[in-house]
Structure 1
């Protein structure tokens, strides 16, 4: 007898009030470090701004309201690969024409939260000034160890394994062929979906090319590519301490970040500011409520340690896996405010690149920072592949 498919079950998060009271107690008891006068953000998270944010988190932040807003998304959990996987499954509006299934993969430090603003624009474009024919059925899973998906009790899953889970999830949902898109860690997951499941993935869209991994002869690279690799290496030297810790000793950092909400906020806040298109003012890209919704998701689910361990898993992936060329049609939206922006030559070398754009606004968290621009980028890129998904 064929094995029965797992059945997704509706998921509604309900936070225990005692967990919120414990959070507020910890925030009010924060033991603050000193900082050099006028250090600002030059040494990491700014002490003055973090004190302001923590005070707001303890006294004024309304998590139940944010939780209710997230609960408006159609959310589910399903057992896959021995893990409970949480995901959003938002179907195209009834008024739309035939829809394209699309799986969106998030990165770090976020979760399904990254796409919460853009989902309505993708499922119901006609209500947002766009062509109803560009509608998607949107699937946004939480990577194991992030958000409301289970934390692996054994070794963490690398991006290749996560891509395999997403292919299985799309089968469970009844989608034989689909598009894939993502950024940050989700860029790797989407890439491996195209590499390992080319018979099912009609096209892949990414907002970055990842950090360069090249073991060949540098003489084979264009001057533009060599300059980019040098700049990416320099960026890693000044901005990559977090990733070095995640790759090598994530558990050590997890003790403090899991125990101190202020420490957790400092760890995540620095990246929200440094990687977004905010010109140094994080609240140009995110409100306090938005910042704290993302951080509170990490706190309440206890996933900061498990999320960091994914870097450790990816570091063990053989370099040859990252040098495989993606032959599935690939598109890139390289937002102007993102970090480590790859040149066209590199994208053409590593993928069957059919489209590359450079939106003038938006950073590393483009689906959240600029949801309208991001939605239009996806509509335009996937438009030629809708028929292929139905074929």
Structure 2
């Protein structure tokens, strides 16, 4: 029941081991195409890993995490570690933010200050939030479940317990990717204390009548869904069916892990041809290190085995806000989504940004949250 501080303290020996493994990497031959259609190109990944090996500084990220303040508490046998940054405004709205795969708590890194100190970032005191950002079980610095059952519904209930332990009896929830599934599960189960949710990956599917005569936004969504099924879903099938098998390579090989994640930073961001158009290398590597240092390749993939079927439309009884970013990998038109939301208070459409909305477009993301949750007071 106790909540105690957690200090991130990675020894230099772990960094030295990483460097040795990179130096000993055995690389495949170059791809036979001149694009990303076979995966991360050899030259691009070698350049990215070369920066990781020779120029990247983990300890700058470690200082950042510790300066924000990390904490831990055990819930049902799993140690949950999380950021907890309170606003100076005592009446700020408590908000739990949930990340996804292959992201981490660092997706929200440039949103923390605008959410907790809104006056310094174009907002007003009434826009202030106390933010709680947990590492999903099996991700980052949280513990790894040793038994089955840790799907999104259980995680949702655990977040309710976490907020209760922090003393918040009325709070809001937000998420994208797995965070969207967890946040939806919070609302569907009406977890005690949650007063409303916001999603940047609203989940909905077309009905037969939608397929018969789709509007332009519906046709675009159908085309993107088909592209995902045909060309972008192999990772999810592997992780949903054989997470242990893929985990051996992800935990043992830094180059293997880098390729597995770097390609998604290309495929899922709003970029002009390379991941670095949307996210800095240091940002991507900070995120990558939360998988490498904690050996989370298998444990993070296991959430797909537990809960991939949970990415299904569900009726949401609480107030809902949603934001549709233009390069979301599986978009849901408002027409499809609002069928499930009798209390849809806000729908935003953004012309920039992809799957990692808070990470790619923090200013727009924060504005969307201010509007949505401002309508749920």
Give TM-score scaled by structure 2 length: 0.94
Q: 1:199 to 1:79 in 2, by over 3 A?
A: closer
In the alignment, which residue of structure 2 is the partner of 1:330?
Answer: 320
Deviation of the 1:372 alpha carbon: 1.1
Quick check: 178-187 or 69-78, which moved more?
A: 69-78
Aligned 8 A contact 1:66 1:293 in 2: yes
1:324 is paired with a residue whose SS is: coil
Q: CA deviation at 1:129?
A: 2.1
Shift of 1:233: 3.7
Aligned residue number for residue 81 of structure 2:
86
2:63 aligned with 1:72: no
**Match of 1:385, SS?**
coil
RMSD (Å), alpha carbons? 1.9
- Give the conservation status (yes or no) of the 8 Å contact 1:97–1:132: no
Give the paired residue count: 373
Partner of 2:375: 384
Q: Among 347, 352, 361, which residue is 1:370 paired with?
A: 361
Tell me the SS of whatever aligns to 2:83: strand
Pick the aligned partner of 2:128 from 115, 132, 135.
Answer: 135
Provide structure 2 residue ranges, at least 5 long, that are not aligned to the other structure.
Answer: none
- Indicate whether 1:357 and 2:352 are aligned: no
Alignment of 1:289-328 (within 5 A): 289-315=282-308, 322-328=312-318
Aligned partners of 2:212 and 2:67: how far apart in 1?
A: 48
- Range moving further from structure 2, 113-122 or 219-228: 219-228
Q: Which residue of 2 aligns with 1:3?
A: none
Q: Distance in 1 between matches of 2:57 and 2:186?
A: 38
Matched, 1:182 2:175: yes
TM-score normalised per structure 1: 0.91
Measured against aligned partners, the alpha-carbon deviations of 1:153-203 in whole angstroms (never above 9, x if no partner) come to 112511111001001101101111111100000001110111112652211
8 Å contact kept, 1:156–1:309: no
Measured after TM superposition, the shift of residue 291 of structure 1 is: 1.1
Structure 1 equivalent of residue 268 of structure 2:
275
The answer for unaligned runs of 5 or more in structure 1 is 1-5, 387-391
DSSP-derived class of the 1:334 partner: strand
